[in-house]
């Protein structure tokens, strides 16, 4: 651990996917955004990732019941994973939330000033987000409300919160990790785009300056509501444009995991938990993370990445792999707030939940399917799918070998069947069963 400072200081000087080394002004939170932004900073944490003798840091977003302490954190995937020399992906050995500036000093790393985390959910690249669960609620940090980025608009004022490297303060071997050191940069939304260079991910392009260290932090509106995850900087000098991934991706994953969070209804600006899947508390949810993942197109030709990484241990690799492919599939289609979800009630995906966006595909092919079956499964490669047509879900079998069933009736291939709320169907027999649920 004593070698960490050397690597940390080096890591803060290396260019990253968030345009490390960008020059420009940054404003402290009290200078940038008023009372709402001050309060929003209480929902930001520093994520500290360890990989062998290396160490790096990023930012994170506390989610849960607004204004209350929580153990659930949203951050970037690249904050908790690293690319190795062979081009493969390695999850970091450990992940922590730093509580103060005594956590990491020239004497080494002091775990008594940090809270250890495990990774509940992570993508393997785009749309580049991860969900962490800390061993306890983070003291002094309060959950922020979330709002679909689809409700944001061009020219709206926004603030990027976090720990950007070019504003970070390292003095006498101390790394600042107190709430007072959170930085806010302000700007406006330039446009909402689907970025093909980043895996067709839906992103908010804005002028709020971000760079390495900002990774995983919140992009908030003037009310202090999270609409994006600060992720990319790009351009000729990797400093011209700043992109934040739609928070919708993380919201869908939270729903799949059964984790409650507060969502702002733009119609009346009130906060509701009605959309959240109740699970009796997120601390009881124990979900594993992948033992190993495969690299795929990690460096865009104009994007410099930094190994900002750290992650938890592996358990339940098959279910974790399903979640990853579901998140990757979400990046290939418009983010939807349809309110429809599938829950597994038997078989391979029992206990898991999947958000139904415009299209949710079931089958063995992880490149196409959002609900993925093992290779040895009786399910076909692209078995069946659910689509939302005029706000209503329909089910279609895609010519599967072993059939899709409504009750005991095998559905005709290629024909669409309406799915009412609460409908149950099964795949390749009666073992793999699913229920359709609508969240208001």
Q: What H or E segment, with its residue span, contains residue 327?
A: helix 317-330
Given this model, what pLDDT does residue 283 score? 33
Q: Which residue has the higher pLDDT, 73 or 180?
A: 73
Dihedral over Cα of 205, 211, 215, 219: its sign: negative
Q: Taking a C-beta distance cutoff of 8 angstroms, is the pair 56, 306 a contact? A: yes
Residue 300 has pLDDT above 80, yes or no: no
Give the integer Cα–Cα distance in Å for 353 and 425.
Answer: 15
SS3 call for 113: helix
pLDDT tens-digit map of 84-127? 655 566 788 899 999 987 887 777 788 899 999 999 888 877 88
pLDDT tens-digit map of 6-58? 334 333 332 233 333 222 333 333 333 357 899 999 999 999 998 887 888 89
Given this model, what pLDDT does residue 266 score? 67
Tokens representing 360 are: 């949710």
Residue 246 has pLDDT above 50, yes or no: yes
Give the integer Cα–Cα distance in Å for 189 and 153.
Answer: 7
pTM: 0.58
φ/ψ of 387, rounded to 5, equals -125, 150
Average pLDDT over residues 279-303: 32
Residue 136 has pLDDT above 50, yes or no: yes
Give the integer Cα–Cα distance in Å for 250 and 335.
Answer: 11
Residue 323 has pLDDT above 80, yes or no: no
pLDDT tens-digit map of 262-275? 998 765 444 444 33
Given this model, what pLDDT does residue 353 score? 82
Average pLDDT over residues 237-247: 80
pLDDT band at 286 (very low <50, low <70, confident <90, very high): very low
Tokens representing 283 are: 């601390």
Average pLDDT over residues 252-270: 79
pLDDT tens-digit map of 174-216? 555 455 678 999 999 999 998 877 888 899 999 999 888 899 9
- Of all residues in the chain, what percent carry a pLDDT higher than 70? 69
Give the integer Cα–Cα distance in Å for 156 and 439.
Answer: 29
Average pLDDT over residues 275-303: 32
**Angle at which helices 317-330 and 248-257 cross, to 10°:** 150
Give the integer Cα–Cα distance in Å for 89 and 366.
Answer: 17
């Amino acid at each position: 651990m004593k070698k960490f400072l050397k690597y940390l200081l080096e890591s803060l000087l290396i260019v990253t996917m968030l345009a490390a080394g960008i020059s420009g002004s940054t404003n402290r939170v009290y200078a940038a955004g008023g009372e709402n932004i001050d309060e929003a900073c209480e929902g930001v944490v520093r994520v500290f990732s360890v990989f062998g003798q290396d160490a790096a840091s990023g930012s994170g977003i506390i989610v849960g019941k607004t204004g209350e302490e929580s153990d659930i954190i949203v951050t970037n995937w690249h904050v908790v994973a690293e690319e190795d020399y062979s081009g493969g992906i390695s999850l970091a050995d450990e992940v922590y939330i730093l509580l103060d500036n005594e956590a990491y000093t020239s004497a080494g790393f002091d775990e008594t000033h940090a809270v250890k985390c495990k990774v509940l959910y992570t993508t393997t690249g785009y749309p580049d987000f991860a969900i962490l669960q800390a061993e306890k609620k983070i003291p002094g940090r309060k959950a922020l409300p979330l709002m679909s980025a689809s409700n944001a608009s061009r020219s709206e004022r926004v603030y990027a919160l976090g720990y950007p490297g070019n504003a970070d303060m390292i003095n006498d071997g101390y790394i600042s990790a107190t709430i007072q050191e959170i930085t806010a940069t302000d700007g406006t939304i330039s446009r909402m785009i689907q970025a093909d260079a980043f895996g067709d991910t839906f992103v908010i392009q804005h002028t709020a300056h971000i760079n390495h260290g900002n990774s995983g932090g919140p992009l908030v509106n003037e009310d202090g509501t999270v609409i994006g995850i600060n992720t990319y900087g790009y351009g000729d000098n990797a400093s011209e444009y700043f992109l934040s991934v739609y928070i919708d991706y993380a919201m869908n994953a939270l729903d799949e995991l059964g984790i409650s969070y507060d969502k702002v209804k733009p119609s009346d600006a009130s906060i509701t938990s009605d959309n959240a899947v109740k699970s009796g508390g997120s601390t009881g949810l124990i979900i594993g993370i992948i033992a190993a993942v495969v690299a795929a197109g990690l460096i865009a030709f104009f994007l410099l990445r930094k190994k900002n990484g750290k992650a938890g241990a592996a358990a339940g690799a098959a279910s974790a792999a399903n979640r990853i492919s579901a998140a990757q599939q979400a990046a290939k289609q418009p983010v939807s707030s349809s309110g429809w979800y599938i829950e597994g009630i038997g078989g391979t995906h029992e206990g898991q939940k999947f958000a139904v966006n415009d299209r949710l595909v079931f089958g063995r092919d992880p490149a196409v399917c959002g609900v993925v079956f093992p290779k040895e499964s009786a399910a076909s490669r692209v078995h069946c799918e659910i689509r939302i047509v005029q706000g209503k879900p329909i089910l279609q079998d895609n010519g599967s070998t072993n059939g899709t069933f409504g009750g005991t009736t095998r559905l005709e291939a290629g024909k669409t069947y309406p799915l009412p709320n609460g409908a149950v169907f099964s795949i390749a027999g009666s073992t793999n069963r699913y229920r359709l649920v609508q969240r208001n």
